[in-house]
Amino acid sequence: MRAALVLTLSLSTALSAPAADAWPGFRGTGESVAKGAYPTAWGPKDGLAWTADLPGYGQSSPVVWDGTVYLTAVEGDNREKGYVVALDAKTGKEKWRHTFEPTQKAKWSYTISRAAPTPCVDADGVYCFFEGGNLIALTHAGKVRWARDLVKEYGEFQGGHGIGSSLAQTEDAVFVLIDHRGPSYLLAVKKVDGENKWKVGREQKGGWASPVVATRNGSPEVIASSAGTVIGYAADTGKELWKLDNVVGNTIPSASVIGDRVLFGGGTSRSKEESPAGAKSNGCLKLVSKDGKPTFEPAWAARAGVSNYATPLGYEGVAYFVNQVGVVYAHDLATGKELFAERTDGACWASPVGAGGHVYFFGKDGTTSVLKAGKEFDQIASNKLWETKAKPTPAGGKKDAPGDKKDAPGGEYGDPIVYGVAAADGAFYIRTGAQLFKVTK
């Protein structure tokens, strides 16, 4: 193979492409792009197919497969109870729930994970991981196929914010990234029986970011942007293939793969004088081969763009970064040219979605800003899930009812908060701590 040959990659992720009515994991297949037409305008009284109350409280995103929506949640002052819940996608009615006792318990707060890891789903069932250390595989009917306890096997999770990393998957394995203040690792678990496929150690640093899987010349590759590095691992063996050091602030946003490009983000911006090979925070890598070996080249640096919580999005030739107050920074995906920096209608904790020629920024206060995809800022809609004048239910109650956040317990963290979204079959499934909203045309 010739040196510096650029390899063709895709986010088929070595997993069969899901049907249009599937959103099989965190950010779908890892790129946060949905096919087909999706609604661009809705409100509390227009466009909501249903709203479902959920047991407990959760910060994970929903996943969708063959007409069923799956979610996770925990309950109790110290997260004493865990849930996996299946809802009918058409009606919002609960089909079943699985209840268990999490192993590692801790008093909850808005800055400590509560069912934060998003599960993944395939034709055989749903795979769920919890910050209490429990890794569970269930059938589509809700029966346990296998269960593991990573805390008992490898030690308690250490750090002030808990574990928030979502699962990634290939056809035969799920991948769990544990970056914390104790012995850290990336674990590949066989879907068929829950046994280890491999386990590799990582540097002991805290992080909430999730792995993503790309395919390089037919071979899946696990990419982890977390805790100061971006690393590519061979999905079949766990062998480290390449590594980018000195990344700043990438403890929450995950990597996003678009073709042969990898977008990564962190909580700080770089100065105008820094080069892509210098201290890194937000930018783009190009996946290449040198001397027959997979590696990367720095592509460009997002000199102004910042990703605080949401993972960067690559869609229709544009890379989008959004900071903690809702400012969107757009760059040309190929060259890194700065296109615009404009404020949307609110802070985003959920990662944006590209669909139907539009980019959706799901604000944590229930307001979704809809942009026309392209190299110019063109916001075409601002859509609310709920009215904001009602008094909120205190967090930790049975519901996180809509309300005015300025008077809510916890200040800026007052419920309800939009944590995640799934897009499937022309509908958005938007999750707050204790409710799920289905938005349709």
Bridge partners of residue 297, in order along the sequence: 286
CA distance 166 to 184: 15
What is this structure's pTM? 0.91
Say if residue 411 is exposed, middle or buried (CB neighbours under 10 Å; 0-12, 13-18, 19+).
Answer: exposed
Give me 84's structure tokens: 């996996």
Residue 207 sits in a domain whose CATH number is 2.140.10.10
pLDDT of amino acid 18: 56
Name residues of the chain where pLDDT drops below 50.
1-14, 271-279, 390-399, 401-410
CA distance 441 to 60: 25
Domain holding 17, by residue range, is 5-439
pLDDT digits (tens, 9 = 90+) for 141-188: 999 999 999 999 999 999 878 899 999 999 999 999 999 999 999 999
pLDDT of amino acid 218: 85
CA distance 59 to 71: 10
Other CB atoms within 10 A of residue 48 CB: 16
pLDDT of amino acid 304: 79
CA distance 371 to 360: 6
pLDDT of amino acid 428: 98
pLDDT of amino acid 397: 44
Radius of gyration, alpha carbons of the chain:
20
pLDDT of amino acid 136: 98
pLDDT of amino acid 159: 83
Total domains present in the chain: 1
